[in-house]
Every structure is written in structure tokens, then in C-alpha cells.
Amino acid sequence: MEYRRLGRSDIKVSVICLGTMTWGEQNTETEGHQQMDLALDRGVNFWDTAEMYSVPPRQETYGATETIIGTWLKSRGKRDRIVLASKIAGPDKRLTYLRDGKLPYDAKNIAAAVDASLKRLQTDYIDLYQLHWTERTTNGAARLGYEHLADETFTPFAETLLALQDQIKAGKIRMIGLSNESAWGTMRWLSESERLGLPRMMSIQNAYSLLNRSFEVGLAEVAIREDCGLLAYSPLGMGILSGKYIGGAAPATARLNRFQQFLRYRGSIAATATEKYVAIARRHGLDPAQMALAYVNSRPFLTANIIGATTLPQLEANIASIDIKLSPEVLNEIDAVNKEHTYPCP
């Protein structure tokens, strides 16, 4: 396993990060525990979760994933070996059941969310606490277009940073990070931290894969120059890049069919691009999924690649992508497809 520094902190995280959002929906508690055992055995010390998991979000499974992680931590006693990341949910019309549906990133909500997560996780602290998405309308969540709403309001960044600082001083969280954020937003968070001497954002968790390289437009430079590296989610495009769905072969139980918010990976252009990426892998004797993950692993702006799996063999293979180094020939062929299908998942 390889390890990289989390932002400007002294924390070292595995390049492969264990994604957990299926636990409590597609995976049972026992299966979640098995995945954690395997990941830790393979050197994966970085796990990512969120208060709203499992996915898709609904009241019946709210907090289920954190609860599963909590029972593992209690039974295994290995908290000191794990860098644990979680997220606070922001404003969302679907989440009427969470804190009365009022979810600004203010001190009251942050304190309540942190305490609830700590209780479910059965731990005294969270290593990396992230804002799951922006309060304002932006294009950080894998969209190229930006729609400006002139009358939109959101919690001032300084107010949110002060609230997060309180949680750090209380010893409940160690570091903070962003998710689904834009280049403008990331720079504003960083500048406010510097201006006021407040905690600094250490990472940004956005979608990134062969099917969605929008992060490279603006945010890649920010990540490198500001030491605010990418935590890449959906690196396989909800499994599309494994090649197993080519020709429409997606069972009803597949995440692709169960999670309607990820329909962008099902379009005809995405299918065409996927076929070409899979063909590259097979020409060079590579597993398509491992090639796609290895590409993400190799990016200079990446801190960690968040992989998710519903079975242990899938997890084993995904973790093994860390040992694959793509040749210049493969990288050139990948870039050729990207030039032809630059943004196949609008």
C-alpha cells in the first residue's frame, strides 16, 4: 500500500480509501465488518463515511453505515489504526427527517451532527470531518455548467469555520475537508482560514474517473498548489468502468439501477466511452476496473481514491489496483479517448 499526506496535516492516509455507503442498504453489518477486516489487513487505513449513509438516503437507513462502523470499532479495538472520515449533510429537500429539515452549516447543526456521528461510530473523535455538499448552488458536484442565483444566501464561510474550530478545540474532530465543492469555493474557504487564523480545509472529495475528469478544469491546480488534495469518489462511475454493464447487462440489484441520482453514467455517450476504455484494458492484458482505478491512483492531485464494493472479491481486486502502474502507451490511449469523449456524463 502507498500512503500520502492529508493536506498540510501530519496524517498519512492510504491511497486506497474504503468507501462505505452500501453498508446498511446493499450490505449487512456482517458484510461491512468483513470488508473492514480485509481492508485493514491489506494496509487500507483510511475509511470514508457520512451521517446520511447508507445510500440512497432515506429515513429508515439514516446513520446505518456509521452504526456498522461503530460496532466494528467496538468489537475490534483498533481505532488507533484507522483514519476515519465522515461528513455532515447540508441543505437538501429530501432530508426532512434530519434536524427538522433545517441544515445550514452553522454552529448548532455542526455540534448536533458531530455528537450524533460520534455516538453511532462509538468513538471519541473523527479524524476528517467534511461538508458533504455546498449550501449554495454550484457546479462542484461533477457539473460543467454553473447557474447563478442572485438572491441565494448561505452561511458565511467564517461562521462555519469558527463552528468547526470549536469542535476541534473540544477534541471531537481533528481535521476538516470539503466535498462537492467548486474551485471558487475551495479558494474562498482557504483564504478565509488564512485571513482569520482558522482551521484549514485539508482535502476536497469530488467525483473523478475516466468518465468524469471535470476536476481537472481548475480544481486540479488548486489541489496541488494549495495542498488540498482530491479524495476521488465514484472512480468506477458506479461500476460502469468495470465493463460488466456493456450492452445493457445491468441486473435490477445493481447500484446503477438502484441509485437514480447516478443516471448520468448510463447515457449512450458514456457507454461508448466505456467500451473504448475497456478495449484498451483488454488489449494490454489489464482488468478494466483495475486500469480505471490505477489511472485515478496515478494523478498528482490525488490524495486518496475512494473505492466501494459489495463483495469481498470486488474489494480485493479494487485494493490490488495500487500495485498497477500504467505504461505510457496505455496512458496515451486513455487520453486519446478522453479527447474524443471529454465529458460523457453530463
Question: Helix axis angle, 29-41 relative to 64-76, nearest 10°?
Answer: 60
The DSSP symbol for 290 reads: H
What is the rounded end-to-end Cα distance, in angstroms, of the chain? 33
Q: How far apart are CA 253 and CA 304, in angstroms?
A: 28
> Degrees (nearest 5) of the Cα angle 112, 118, 119?
90
Residue 197 CB coordination number (10 Å): 9
Q: State the catalytic residue, choosing from 53, 105, 208, 265.
A: 53
Which spans in the chain are helix H?
29-41, 64-76, 107-121, 157-169, 183-196, 219-225, 255-258, 268-283, 288-297, 312-319, 328-340
Q: How far apart are CA 92 and CA 86, in angstroms?
A: 18
Three cell numbers at 18? 474504503
Cα dihedral across residues 44, 45, 46, 52: positive or negative: positive
**105 noted as active-site residue:** no
Which residues are the active-site residues?
A: 53
